[in-house]
Amino acid sequence: MNRLVIASAVATLSIALSSRADAQPRPTPSVVQLPAVGDTLHPNGAEGWPTFQWLYDVPSMSDAAGKIVVHWFCAPKVQACTDDLARITTLKENSSRIYVVAYINGTKGQAQKLDPIRESEGVGRGTLAYGKGVTTLFKKLGITGPASIIVDGEGKVAMVATGSSPAELDARDAKVNALITGIKDFTTVVEGPKGATIKPNEKFQLTMKIQLASWLVYSKRTAMEYKVMVPKDINCNATTLRGEQLKPVNQGLTASVTCSGPRGIYEVRGQITFGYEQPGGGTGIGTDGATWKFEIKP
């Protein structure tokens, strides 16, 4: 009798524990879906995307740095895809600021016919995926025809275009071109007595600050120089800064001289020059100028 009671109690407890466990919320598997505007999307895709076969190299972070990345999805035997291929290719060829990652839902041979990279013409300009991994991604994202995900220079999704009408594709192309226009290798902030009134012999500074884009680094192979051109009555602690007098800190570079002068109305000009290096090689020269107009009077 006691054995029956104990066995019954154990069974009841097991059922209760089982029911309680079943009642616990279970982790929801991650859902792969089209990203939203503002989401981060890398050139090599998002978490949960399948493994792809690539017609060229895998997407390159260094090649894509400082560019607008266009993730372009298309499939064979879809006329809208054939039509859009010409648009995407034209966008790529008209600007070196575009990096295309194409996903073609088909075989290697079919992918080659819808290839906007075009082999050697597109070196460093993008790559192309095809095969089963792309087919899987198309199903998960719900894509059938042409679609584009536009990613800005900071790695954020700026537009998701899934339509294929001329008006919708025009809007996508306009967005890409607008983003390209907004890409700057560096920005300049000018500080000083512009439009100000200064007392005689009072010290003031003529300053130019450079902020280099996040994907660039200052070149040690190009001499930096900051020059100010002042009237003879204006005295400065220096009119030219070079070498060790100009030291970048991360992406920032500040050049400044201190001046003073007698009563009068003046115009002073400054110019800064520096070099920078791009990811994967390549160099550039940055130069900018400034003008200060001010009055010195008691």
Confidence check: pLDDT of 17 > 90 = no
Mean of all residue pLDDT scores within the chain: 87
| Model confidence, pTM | 0.78
Q: Retrieve residue 26's tokens.
A: 């279970």
Rg value, the chain, Cα: 30
- Supply the pLDDT for residue 27: 39
Q: Exposed, middle or buried by CB within 10 Å (0-12, 13-18, 19+), for 172? A: buried
- Supply the pLDDT for residue 10: 40
Banded model confidence at residue 120, pLDDT cuts 50, 70, 90: low
Instruction: Provide the residue count of the chain.
Output: 298
Banded model confidence at residue 281, pLDDT cuts 50, 70, 90: confident
Cβ density class 192-224: b for 16+ within 10 Å, e for less: bbeeeebeeeeebebbbebebbebbbbbeebeb
For residues 145 and 81, the answer to whether their CB atoms sit within 8 Å is yes
pLDDT in tens, 1-14: 433 333 344 444 44
Q: Retrieve residue 34's tokens.
A: 């089209």
